Amino acid sequence: MSPEVVAHRGASTRRPEHTLAAYELALRQGADGLECDVRLTKDGHLVCLHDRTIDRTSTGSGAVSAMTLDELRRHDFGSWHGGEPAEVLTLDALLGLAADHGTRLFIETKHPVRYGSRVERTLADQLKRYRLDVVMMSFSVFAVHRFKKLRPEVPTVLLYDRLWPQTRPRFVDYAGPGVHLLRRHPDRGHGVYTWTADDPADIALCRERGVRFLATNNPDETRAHLADNLTPDQP
Ligand code: G3P
Ligand code: CA
């Protein structure tokens, strides 16, 4: 089985990350799933942003947690990348897009953050409004644990960066090693979620080792590399 291609922050090489344009392009490119990071605004909205502040990816500055959604909406999140101007993307809008396309959404909660466990509580509540294939992820084992207690039916990924333990807690459905860890432990690749594989050698490694979900910034190139690696007895 070829890995499912997950668009990391959307098609984020070609479009500004975490914008509607990035996710729409990923869907046109045939991504099987979409990945996003979420953070809570001061007034309790989950928005799709990676960094603690908006300095890198917008025309504004300051911490996401110190701004309301209306304040975030005053800034442009597209032109830093050379793209069209873009509004901050709410998780609600992305859930709507994923639901319209029947596409699996991988949602990563960032920690440590000012609002702590409120992030997972808000996410668990918000997901009740959607009938959608969702996977919750975090580098924080505590975040994954508390989310699983709230929504046991939603699959979870525990992300690993520096070390990849041999075993995972029972509330973790998939291990989520960075591709640098997969290179170090290729024998453990079967059925895992791996991030972020853009290099053809890494994509080939994911396929050979039976990775289940492959997060990439370039869904179209990754799909092409996976197709190139097909052999006649590997449909
Ligand atoms: O998909 C997991 C990966 O996104 C984790 O790293 O820093 O890109 O959120 P980061
Ligand atoms: Ca992420």
Percent of the chain with pLDDT over 70: 97
Q: Is the pLDDT of residue 152 over 80?
A: yes
Mean pLDDT over each residue of the chain, to the nearest integer: 96
Q: Give the pTM.
A: 0.97
Q: For atom 7 of ligand 1, which residue has the closest CA?
A: 50
Structure tokens at 89: 């993307």
- Mean pLDDT over residues 129-145, rounded? 96
What pLDDT score does 229 carry? 66
Confidence of residue 230 (pLDDT cuts 50, 70, 90): low
Q: Is the pLDDT of residue 234 over 70?
A: no
Task: Assess whether the C-beta atom of 35 lies below 6 angstroms from ligand 1.
Answer: yes
Q: Is the pLDDT of residue 24 over 60?
A: yes
Distance 7 CA to ligand 1 centre (A): 11
Domain boundaries, the chain: 4-228
Confidence of residue 228 (pLDDT cuts 50, 70, 90): confident
Distance 70 CA to ligand 2 centre (A): 24
DSSP annotation of 139 reads S
In terms of phi and psi (left: phi > 0; alpha: psi -120 to 50; beta: otherwise), the region of 44 is left
What pLDDT score does 100 carry? 96
What pLDDT score does 157 carry? 98
Task: Assess whether the C-beta atom of 195 lies below 6 angstroms from ligand 1.
Answer: yes
For 59-105, the pLDDT digits (tens) are: 999 999 999 999 999 999 999 999 899 999 999 999 999 999 999 99
Q: Is the pLDDT of residue 122 over 80?
A: yes
Q: Is the pLDDT of residue 39 over 60?
A: yes
Q: Is the pLDDT of residue 204 over 80?
A: yes
**Whole-number Å distance between alpha carbons of 96 and 76:** 21
Q: Look at the block and give the residue holding tokens 């729409």.
A: 24
A 10 A CB-CB count for 180 gives 15
Structure tokens at 182: 């997969």
Confidence of residue 1 (pLDDT cuts 50, 70, 90): confident
- Mean pLDDT over residues 152-156, rounded? 98
Helix %, strand %, coil % for the chain, to 5? Answer: 35, 20, 45
Q: Is the pLDDT of residue 235 over 80?
A: no
**Whole-number Å distance between alpha carbons of 141 and 27:** 30
End-to-end CA distance of the chain: 7
- Mean pLDDT over residues 174-186, rounded? 98
Beta-carbon neighbours within 5 Å of ion ligand 2: 37, 108
Return the closest-CA partner of residue 86 out of 137, 41, 21: 21
Distance 233 CA to ligand 1 centre (A): 33
State which fold the 4-228 domain adopts.
Answer: TIM Barrel (3.20.20)
Q: For atom 6 of ligand 1, which residue has the closest CA?
A: 195
Q: Is the pLDDT of residue 126 over 80?
A: yes
Q: Which atom of ligand 1 is nearest to the CA of 193?
A: 1
